[in-house]
Amino acid sequence: MGVTKTSGVFSTLQKDSRGPVSIRRLGRIEYADALEMQKALVEDRRAGRIGDTLLLLEHPPVITLGVKTRGKPTNILASPDVLTAAGVRVFDTGRGGDVTYHGPGQLVGYPILDLQPDRCDVHRYVRELEEVLIQAVAAFGVAGVRVPGLTGVWVGAPGREEKLAAIGVRISRWITSHGFALNVAPDLDHFRLIVPCGIADRGTTSLERLLGHAVPMETVEDAVAKAFAEVFR
């Protein structure tokens, strides 16, 4: 779906005091390209060349490692051969957290925000990202929850929650990058290649599986953009 979409500024949402958040919908983009792009945007944001920006996109199948796994990818369950056969690439990133899978059908959001001067609290930022996603999926009637100690958005009965969205953030002198990944309709089998976030005994789910029918990616992007503006206003 994403391949055909054009890049560019989709909309700007007015915020009370810090100017608009630009939402850029990039469609499907290689992980490495998105990494480069974020790096440049972080510098742009720091220099004041751009305002707060949210990138929304999809990645081709890729497994990314956070700093916790640097040099020891033990939470990848599949062998390199299996990964290659499945067309999945592996990337070492600068973000926090453990191992994550990204792929088609997953809505990835990379907010490039300057948290200074009044939002300098990384926990608050992470909780706010969770809030964005909880509000976004609520629009589809899905009750996302937080699980204390396990960052992300989860769905299900206490103790048996499944992961609907993952969060992994990087903050460079209070400019944010990386962000969240919401499972809209990804190939859930690909998650079996990893132990998501190093948490071994919880499963992964998607909006499509929870709802029992497909949801257009554009509709989910709209919901996330709306919730984002709501929370980060």
Q: Which residues bind another protein (CB under 8 A)?
A: 66-68, 70, 74, 94-97, 120-126, 149, 151-152, 159-160, 167-173, 199-202
**Which of residues 16 and 201 has its CB atom nearest to another protein in the complex?**
201
**Which residue out of 76, 197, 215, 223 is catalytically annotated?**
197
The distance from CA 138 to its chain's CA centroid, rounded to whole angstroms, is: 17
Q: Which of these, 98, 28, 39, lies nearest to 61 by C-alpha position?
A: 28
Q: Which amino acid is at 139?
A: A
Q: Which of these, 112, 111, 88, lies nearest to 100 by C-alpha position?
A: 88
Query: Which value, to the nearest 10 degrees, does the dihedral of the CA atoms of residues 164, 195, 37, 230 take?
Result: 20
Nearest-approach distance from CB 65 to another protein, in angstroms: 12
**197 catalytic residue (yes or no):** yes
**Which of residues 78 and 171 has its CB atom nearest to another protein in the complex?**
171
**Which of residues 51 and 96 has its CB atom nearest to another protein in the complex?**
96
Nearest-approach distance from CB 4 to another protein, in angstroms: 33
Measured CA to CA in angstroms, residue 200 lies from 98, 117, 137, 183 at distances of 12, 38, 25, 18
Nearest-approach distance from CB 122 to another protein, in angstroms: 4
Q: Which residues are catalytic?
A: 197
